[in-house]
Structure 1
């Protein structure tokens, strides 16, 4: 059973998320918090697998909350999934860099939300296409520039297929869409992506996309 804490300053949002998430037989809501400081206090005594975290809250925001959670709890023990309406906000990029393991918009479907929670809980990552686009826009320049040789070197060991998958991830495509385009299964796409992260020394898809853009990798 995946144990989830919901952190959002709006009680109605928390209630709606609880209804959606608890309908899944493999997920249990074990705690709720109205702000980041309350979430940090609850984490001290409540076993939680995934923190479902809003990014804009009173007091300390989701970025600072993420940073403090990660300072106190290793990624192997507590995972963080950002859920917000501000999918293109630069704070999303900052939250991913602070240690968040995924990002979904509040417009995500029930299936997307529960699947994202479970993937993050299992050690994977969940990024909406808008989140990937925000990362690309953050690191890309408006003019054509040479690839970063140091970044490119970190992708030198990728196979042609792994490089192709990375290019599609940079373009903002999810695993299912990539699988359909290159005629493999979504699981195979995930495997290629994980191998690309391992070879490039990146920890999650957010870092992978950022480094790939600097290396000049694009979808064909």
Structure 2
């Protein structure tokens, strides 16, 4: 069972997220907090696997909450997933730099949020397509980025079709768009993407993008 704490200053939003997260049998909402201070106090006495936190809150905001939580609990002990209305590019980068493991807009589907909780609980990353695009653009603009030869060797084992799909993912395209452009079914696109992840050692889409960029695959 994955134990989740929800941190949001709006009662109705907390209730909605609790209903979403608490619906699957493998997830359980064990605590809720209305701000970062309450979250920190609750974490001191409650066993939590994933912190699901908003960005705009009174007192200390979500980014500062993430930063303070990380000083107490490393990623190996606690996953942090930001779910917010304010998904501007800078907020994505600020949250990830502070130590968040994932970033979703509140417009994400219940299935996406539940899956994101599972992924960060397992030590992975959970990023929306928009967040992935922000990270890729940021890395691509960094003139200090150099090719990681070990990762490039792994990427070289991809089939032409797998690489084509990875390149499309790095460019920020979702599965449905890739399928339409390549005249493939969404299932086929997902199968090739999963095979590519297995070959390069990625556990999720966000890590696949990160590794691909390190190998020199940049957004077109």
TM-score bracket relative to the smaller structure? 0.7 to 0.9
3-state secondary structure, aligned to 2:152: coil
Q: Does structure 2 conserve the Cα–Cα contact (< 8 Å) formed by 1:148 and 1:215?
A: no
Who is 1:85 aligned against? 85
- The aligned residue for residue 17 of structure 2 is 17
Q: 1:150 aligns with which of 146, 151, 176?
A: 146
Task: Give the 3 Å change call, closer, same or farther, for CA 92–219 of structure 1 in structure 2.
Answer: closer
The CA deviation at 1:93 is: 1.0
Matches within 5 A, 1:62-73: 62-73=62-73
Matched residue, 2:100: 100
Give the drift of 1:58.
1.6
RMSD: 3.3
| TM-score when normalising by structure 2 | 0.78
Deviation at 1:124, TM superposition (A): 2.3
**1:168: how far off?**
3.6
Contact 1:81–1:100, Cα closer than 8 Å, also in 2: yes
Compare 37-46 and 207-216 and name the one that shifted more. Answer: 207-216
CA distance in 2, matches of 1:139, 1:120: 22
Corresponding residue of 1:189:
193
Between 1:185-194 and 1:163-172, the stretch displaced more is 185-194
1:159 to 134, 150, 155: 155
Tell me what 1:45 maps to.
45
SS at match of 1:150: coil
CA contact (8 A) 1:88 1:134 kept: no
Any idea what the Cα deviations from partners look like across 1:54-92, whole Å, max 9, x if unmatched? 112122221121122122112122100110112223121
Contact in 1 for aligned 2:152/2:214 (Cα 8 Å): no
Instruction: Output the TM-score relative to the length of structure 1.
Output: 0.78
Tell me by how many angstroms 1:95 deviates. Answer: 1.1
Q: Say yes or no: does 1:128 pair with 2:134.
A: no
The count of corresponding residues between Structure 1 and Structure 2 is 212
SS of equivalent residue, structure 1 residue 56:
coil
Q: Any unmatched runs of 5+ in structure 1?
A: none
